Amino acid sequence: MPETKIKKTDDFNEWYNEIVELADLCDKRYPIKGMNVWRPYGWKLMSHVDRLIREEMIKTNHHEVCFPLLIPESSFKKEEEHIEGFGSEVYWVTHAGLNELEERWLLRPTSETAMYPVFSLWIRSHADLPLKTFQIVNTFRYETKQTRAFIRVREIHFFEAHTCHVDFEDAENQVKEDKEIADRLFKKLSLPYILSKRPDWDKFAGAFYTISIDVLMPSGRTLQLGSIHQYKDNFSKPYEISYETEDGTHANCHQTTYGMSERILGALIGIHGDNKGLVMPPEVAPVQVVVIPIIFKGKEKPVFNACDALCKKLGESSIRSHVDKRDITPGNKYYNWELKGVPLRIEIGPKDLEKKEIVIVRRDNSDKRSVSQESSVNVIKDELDKISKNLYGNAKKYLDENMHRVNDIKKAKNLKGIIELPWCGTDDCALKIEDILDGNTLGEPIEDVKCIDTCPVCGKSATTWMRYAKTY
Ligand code: ZN
Give the Å distance between the CA of 213 and the centre of ligand 1. Answer: 25
One-letter amino acid for residue 132 of the chain: K
DSSP secondary structure string for all residues of 35-99: -PEEPHHHHHHHHHHHHHHHHHHHHTT-EE----SEEEHHHHTTSHHHHHHHGGG--EEEEETTE
Q: What is the pLDDT of residue 428?
A: 95
pLDDT at 5: 77
C-alpha 295 – ligand 1 centre gap (Å):
70
Give the residue from 159, 153, 192 showing the smallest Cα distance to 25.
Answer: 153
* pLDDT computed for residue 451 by the predictor: 86
pLDDT for the residue 2: 52
Ligand 1 midpoint to CA 28 (Å): 45
Sign of CA dihedral 216, 220, 223, 229: positive
Distance 400 CA to ligand 1 centre (A): 27
Closest CA to 13 of 218, 193, 192: 218
Ligand 1 centre and the CA of 465: distance in Å?
Answer: 11
Q: What's the gap in Å between 266 CA and the centre of ligand 1?
A: 35
Q: Residue 3 has what pLDDT?
A: 62
What is the distance in A from the centroid of ligand 1 to the CA of 82? 29
Q: How far is the CA of 343 from the centre of ligand 1 (A)?
A: 49
Is the distance from CB of 126 to CB of 246 less than 8 angstroms?
A: yes
Residue ranges of the chain with per-residue pLDDT less than 50: 1
pLDDT of residue 218: 97
Single pTM value for the model: 0.96
Residue-level pLDDT at 391: 98
Ligand 1 centre to CA of 243 (Å) is 43
- pLDDT, tens digit (0-9, with 9 covering 90-100), for 359-408: 999 999 999 999 999 999 999 999 999 999 999 999 999 999 999 999 98
| Main-chain phi, psi angles of 428, to 5 degrees | -55, -45
CA of 429 to the centre of ligand 1 (A): 5
Nearest residue to 63 via CA among 52, 54, 72, 73:
54
How many CB atoms are closer than 10 A to CB 224?
21
pLDDT at 1: 47
Q: Give the domains, in start order, of the chain with CATH numbers.
A: 12-272 (3.30.930.10), 289-384 (3.40.50.800), 405-469 (3.30.110.30)
- Please give the single-letter amino acid code of residue 11: D
> Ligand 1 center to residue 418 CA distance, Å?
19
